[in-house]
Amino acid sequence: MAKSLPYHHEAEQSVLGTIFLEPKQIVAVIDQLNHSDFFEQGHVLIYKAMIELHQEGLNIDYASVASKLEAQQNLTKAGGRKYLLALAEAVPSAAHLETYVDLVKDGSMKRQVIELASKILEMGYQGDMDANSYVSTAEEEIFALAQKRKTSAFTLLSQVMKEVKEKTERNRDKTGGITGLRTGFSNLDKLTAGLQPEELIILAARPSMGKSAFAMNLALNVAKRNKDGQAGVAIFSLEMSNEQLAARMLSSEANIENTKIKTGHLSSREWQFLEGGVQALSKLNIVFDDSAAVSVADIRAKCRKLAQEDRLDFVVIDYLQLIKGDDRSGNRQEEVAKISRSLKQMARELKIPILALSQLSREVEKREDKRPVLADLRESGSIEQDADIVMFLYRGDYYIHNPEAKTGEVELSIAKNRQGVAGIRLNYRFDTEFSRFTAQADREEEDAYKD
C-alpha cells in the first residue's frame, strides 16, 4: 500500500481563504511561507499569483488572482474561478491564521525531511564516498535543514530583555566577575570575563612563538578550573601527535623538563613527580584527535557526539590552516573563509567557546617592528571578521641569537575583542623547558588556588 506525503489540505485552503477575506494578511504570511511549502499544485499556483500581485502593488481579490492565473494559463490547473470563491468559505475563522500557517509549515518540514532522507539513502547506494564522508555529509544536510527550521520571525525586545536579565541574575553569584570558562590566567580572565559560550577565539603567531604551548596551557587550565575539574575539552591537533601534546602537558604539570621526559633520564624524585603528574592529568576530561586530514565536518561530528554525552565545554584546534578544505574549490582564501565561518557556526550550535590557532603572513618578518597586527592574519580577512576575539603572541627574544640575553618574556596582545576592550598587551613568561606560561598575577592566584 503506497504511503502519501504528509500535508494539511484544510490548513492550505484556510491560509489562502484568509488572504482573500483579509488581503493585508499577505504581509504576515509572505514572511513565513514560500510557495513550495504548499503541497497541492493548485494551492502553489494560487499563492504564487497572490505574491506576484502583492509585489506589483495590486489588490488581491478573486478577480485579480483569477486574471493573473489566466494570463499564465494556470487557472484551470488551480481549480478554476469556482474553487477560488470556495476557498473563503472553507475558512473556519480568519483570526486563526497563525495556526493554519503553522500546520502548512509542519507538513512542509516533514516532506523536506522525507526528501532529504531519500537523498541520503540514494547517496549511500551510489557508493562513491567512504563511510566517514557519507556520515559527515548526512549530518551537515540534516543540520542545515534544522537551522532552516529555526530561522524565525523577529524577537520582541521585551523577550530579549527578559533573557538578559535572567542571565545577569545567574551570573550575579559567580566569583570574580567570571561568567565564562576560567583560563587560569587572571589578567586574561579580567579582559574576557572568561571564555564565553558561542565565541570563536583566534590565537595567531609566527612559528616558534609558543602558540601551541599556550593553547595547551589554556586547555589544561580550563579542564582543571571549571566544573570542579571535570570540564570537557577536545583538542584537535593537525600538526603534532597526541603523545607530543600530552608530554607537554605532563612537563608543565609535573614540573619536569621536556627533554627529560623524551629521554627518560629522570632522577628517582623526578620519577615520583612524573607519576603524580600522570595521575593528576588522568583525572581530567580531555580528549585528543590527531587525525592529519580532518575537515570541519569531521570536527563538528565528533564534537556533537561529545556534546550529546555532556562531555564538551571547550574546543582547541591546532591549527586552522591545516583543516582540510573543499577539494572542489581552487581558491585557498575561499576555503579558509568557509572554514572560519563554519567554526563560528559550530561554536553557536554547540554553545561553547572554540579556540583556533592560526598562522601569520611572512610579511611580519620584513618589518622593523615585528609585532603582529590584524592585517597579518594569513590567507583570509574573514578570520578577523568571524572571530569574536583575536589574540597575537609575540616573543621579542626569539630574534635575539645570544642564549644568555633571552628573557622568556612574551606579549599576548588582544587585537580584537567583540565583547570587551581591545588593543591591550598582557605580559607573560614562557618557560620553554616546561612548555609553561605564567604571569605575575597568576602566580599569586595559583598559590591561592592550591590553598
**Domain end residue (candidates: 80, 103, 126):** 103
**Domain end residue (candidates: 78, 103, 128):** 103
The backbone torsions φ and ψ at residue 298, rounded to the nearest 5 degrees and listed phi first, read -65, -45
CATH code: domain of residue 344: 3.40.50.300
Q: How far apart are CA 81 and CA 78, in angstroms?
A: 9
- Assess if residue 74 is contained within a domain: yes
Same domain, 76 and 204: no
H/E element holding 107? Answer: helix 97-126
Same domain, 411 and 272: yes
Q: What pLDDT score does 312 carry? A: 92
Q: What pLDDT score does 233 carry? A: 92
CATH code: domain of residue 37: 1.10.860.10
Q: How far apart are CA 147 and CA 440, in angstroms?
A: 45
Beta bridge partners, 451, equal: none
- Assess if residue 377 is contained within a domain: yes
- Assess if residue 271 is contained within a domain: yes
Give CA torsion, residues 344, 345, 347, 350, to 10 deg: 180
Q: How far apart are CA 267 and CA 260, in angstroms?
A: 10
Q: How far apart are CA 340 and CA 184, in angstroms?
A: 26
Angle at 430 between CA 201 and CA 425, to 5 degrees: 50
pTM of the model: 0.66
- Assess if residue 127 is contained within a domain: no
Taking CA atoms, 399 is separated from 102, 129, 402, 406, in Å, by 64, 48, 9, 9
Same domain, 72 and 185: no
Same domain, 76 and 212: no
Among 60, 100, 93, 64, smallest CA distance to 81 is for 64
The amino acid sitting at 336 is V
Q: What pLDDT score does 152 carry? A: 52
Domain count, the chain: 2
Cell numbers placing 311: 562531555
Q: Are 316 and 219 in contact (CB under 8 A)?
A: yes
Same domain, 417 and 330: yes
pLDDT tens-place values along the chain, 451 residues long: 457 888 899 999 999 999 999 888 888 888 788 888 999 999 999 999 999 998 888 889 999 999 999 999 999 998 898 998 888 888 888 788 889 998 998 898 899 889 989 988 888 888 777 777 787 778 777 877 776 665 555 667 877 788 778 777 766 666 566 788 888 888 888 888 888 999 999 998 888 788 888 999 999 999 988 988 889 999 998 878 888 888 888 888 888 888 888 888 888 888 988 888 888 888 888 898 887 667 787 888 888 888 888 889 999 998 777 787 655 555 667 777 888 888 888 898 889 999 999 888 777 777 777 788 887 776 666 777 888 999 998 887 777 666 666 667 888 888 888 887 888 888 888 887 888 888 755 444 444 444 4
Same domain, 276 and 402: yes
Per-residue HEC secondary structure of 322-366 comes to HCECCCCCCCHHHHHHHHHHHHHHHHHHHCCCEEEEEEECCHHHH
Cell numbers placing 149: 527550521
Cell numbers placing 218: 589554556
Same domain, 98 and 203: no
**Domain end residue (candidates: 86, 103, 120):** 103
- Assess if residue 188 is contained within a domain: yes
Half-sphere exposure of residue 296: CA atoms within 13 angstroms, side-chain side? 21
- Assess if residue 173 is contained within a domain: no
The backbone torsions φ and ψ at residue 289, rounded to the nearest 5 degrees and listed phi first, read -145, 115
Q: How far apart are CA 419 and CA 200, in angstroms?
A: 12
Q: What pLDDT score does 303 carry? A: 87
Cα of 162 vs its chain's centroid, Å: 25
Beta bridge partners, 433, equal: none
Residue listed under C-alpha cell 627529560: 260
- Assess if residue 111 is contained within a domain: no
Q: Is the peptide bond between 319 and the residue preceding it cis, with omega within 30 degrees of 0?
A: yes
- Assess if residue 150 is contained within a domain: no
Report the Cα–Cα distance between both ends of the chain, in Å, rounded. 72
Q: How far apart are CA 376 and CA 361, in angstroms?
A: 5
The backbone torsions φ and ψ at residue 437, rounded to the nearest 5 degrees and listed phi first, read -105, 135
Cα of 195 vs its chain's centroid, Å: 14
Half-sphere exposure of residue 117: CA atoms within 13 angstroms, side-chain side? 6
Q: How far apart are CA 250 and CA 217, in angstroms?
A: 11
Same domain, 252 and 389: yes
Domain of residue 57: give its range: 9-103
Q: What pLDDT score does 354 carry? A: 94
Same domain, 352 and 441: yes
Angle at 206 between CA 398 and CA 415, to 5 degrees: 105
Q: Are 360 and 204 in contact (CB under 8 A)?
A: yes
